[in-house]
Structure 1
């Protein structure tokens, strides 16, 4: 579908190539145990995951700071679980979470296979809202950093997806026109709507079981990319 149209493919990282939820769960398993926080991991994640999702939305919209995101998502989770914990320990957990998260390297199924397939034929890039200090570590620990020519993050751009500025910066860095570019990501709001606002082609990797929509095609396994490129 896009084979003769695009020269450059832009990927989101978290929830698209890098299996954020799996790596995040392993990180929490480690740091909660090491700090003797006696909550069941599954109970913690059940409460934390939707809270984290909402706080990332607020962060994308510029309504909260990075430090507020890191602290409040944990504070509210423990409050909802009814678990008594000091602010100091929350700060420790927040720092350790960032420190250890990038040491886990699980990718979504078929991620490396698809990158191997694409690399000889397209220029590949990353556009991510993730924190600059750990996104490069994630790419290196999962051994996919060499696939990508440019890695654009929100701290570099000064704005977050879906703001069109970050997509324009990515196009400028890659020296490519939007009609020759494809964005692949998991978030309808941040990746698909953001990329479409500046004229990129889009493909929605539905990692979050979002409902069908009319904006672009939706895939459920990264191997399906091969049928488009």
Structure 2
């Protein structure tokens, strides 16, 4: 399908950077240091807690440090460990963060996609539900800083996906109307459904084959993006 696209807005985690892979590697290195065996159930519980409490931060219900503490309060007892004070939890989480940061990597399909888009002078931006410091640090760590256009974070915008204002603000900064911007990301709810509700075009990057499979604008690799758009 050929879309009339004047700019491409990319998600970060799960789209450019392998957040899940980095988190799994971090858990594998961090939990044994706490005397905890890494099990599939514990890893699943970690990701479930991340989704629940990060969503609460995204909605403005709690601050960023508190969503981290709540994740630990959910998961540590499952491993037979006590939660402890806020300061204690912050110190424990810092250990996880160190391993997580050391595991940041970009997906291998990012570079070919960027090369193809640069060759056609397609304006780019990143829209990510995260903090300024951490999301920019991710881009620096994987060599994408300054190469993916302007970076808009939920913290910097003061609003997060799926709020309509987040997508509209990025389009305004790029100087395009929403209908001529294409949003690309791995989260169907945030990167496709909500983006379309804000007036943007959207393509679902379904790396893991989780569907929905009846979505016509669906790709499994960023390598498909240039050809998909007919550039």
Q: TM-score, normalised by structure 2?
A: 0.87
RMSD: 2.2
Unaligned regions of 5+ residues in structure 1, if any? none
Structure 1 residues 62 and 189: alpha-carbon distance in aligned structure 2, compared to 1, 3 A threshold: farther
Structure 1 residues 215 and 177: alpha-carbon distance in aligned structure 2, compared to 1, 3 A threshold: farther
Aligned 1:63-212 pairs, distance under 5 A: 63-84=61-82, 86-87=84-85, 88-98=87-97, 101-121=100-120, 122-207=122-207, 209-212=209-212
TM-superposition CA deviations, 1:156-175 (whole Å, max 9, x none): 11111010111111111111
Residue 61 (1) aligns with residue 52 (2): no
Separation of aligned partners in 1, 2:202 and 2:73: 36
Separation of aligned partners in 2, 1:199 and 1:170: 12
* Structure 2 equivalent of residue 227 of structure 1: 227
Count residues with an aligned counterpart.
226
Q: TM-score, normalised by structure 1?
A: 0.87
Is the partner of 2:34 in helix, strand or coil?
coil
Separation of aligned partners in 2, 1:172 and 1:228: 25
Separation of aligned partners in 2, 1:59 and 1:125: 23
Unaligned regions of 5+ residues in structure 2, if any? none
